[in-house]
Amino acid sequence: MSQVPLSWFLVLSALLFALGVAGFLFRRNIITVFMSIELMLNAVNLSFIAFAYQHKDVSGHLFVFFVMVVAAAEAAVGLAIILTVFKNRATLNIDDISSMKD
């Protein structure tokens, strides 16, 4: 019993991912939405590491490495875009930044 079943890790990952999706769908602040995205990415990273343990393959770790790099780059650019949007629209409400009619 000193061993943790692998499925628990996967359940945790799924839970975190679902919470991330919920935050993405139901929050109004752009930055909070962004943070939900980061939460989703972290959940997926956990899955990868768990499977790397199961298959005893370091490739899972490599994949997480790349996910982290991309997430960092994405966060940088995304936040820059948010800054620009804020300059133009003066609001951080995700529903108000659309300029499409109707």
Partner 1 sequence: MLLWLIPLFPLAGFAINGIFGRRFPKALVNAVAVGSVLLSFLWVLKTLAAGAPLNGPITERYFTWIQSGTLSIGVDMTVDRLTAVMLLIVTGIGSLIHIYSIGYMAHEGGYYRFFAYMNLFMFFMLTLVLAANYLLLFVGWEGVGLCSYLLIGFYFDKKFATDAGNKAFIVNRIGDFGFSLAAFLIFRQFGSLDFSVVSGQAAGAPTAMLTAIGLLLLLGACGKSAQIPLYVWLPDAMAGPTPVSALIHAATMVTAGVYMTARSWPIYVHAPQAMETIAIIGTATAFFAATIGLAQNDIKKVFAYSTVSQLGYMFVGVGVGAFSAGIYHLMTHAFFKALLFLGSGAVIHSLSGEQDMRHMGGLRGKIPWTFWTMMCAAVAIAGVPPFAGFWSKDAILLAAHAHAPWMYWAGTVTAGLTAFYVFRAMFLTFFGSYRGNHHPHESPAVMLAPLAVLAALSLAGGWLFKVPEFLSAVFPAQEVPEDAGLMAISTAAGLIGIAVAYLMYVAKPALADSFADGFKGLYWLVYNKYFVDEIYDAAVVAPVVDGSRAVLWKGVDAGLIDGSVNGIGARCRNLGSVLRLWQSGNIRSYATWVLVGAVVMIVAIGMAGGAR
Partner 2 sequence: MDVILFLIFATIAVVAAVNVVVQSHPISSAISLIGVMGSLAVLYLLLGAEFIAAAQVIVYAGAVMVLFLFVIMLLNAGTETRQSKSETAHLLGVPALLVFALLLAYFIRSQPDSGVHFGGFTGGSAQAVGRALFTTYLLPFEVTSVLILIAIVGAIVLARKEI
Which residues 44-73 are close enough to bind partner 2 by CB under 8 A? 45-46, 49-50, 52-54, 56-59, 61-62, 64-66, 68-73
Q: Is residue 99 part of the contact set for partner 2 (CB under 8 A)?
A: no
Which residues 34-93 are close enough to bind partner 1 by CB under 8 A? none
Which of partner 1, partner 2, none binds 34 (CB below 5-8 Å, type-dependent)? partner 2
18 within 8 A of 39, measured Cβ to Cβ = no
Amino acid (one-letter) located at 42: N
What whole-number distance in Å separates Cα of residue 68 and Cα of residue 14?
19
What whole-number distance in Å separates Cα of residue 80 and Cα of residue 84?
6
| 4, 25, 58, 90: which one binds partner 1 (CB under 8 A) | 25
Nearest distance from C-beta of residue 98 to partner 1, angstroms: 3
What whole-number distance in Å separates Cα of residue 35 and Cα of residue 24?
8
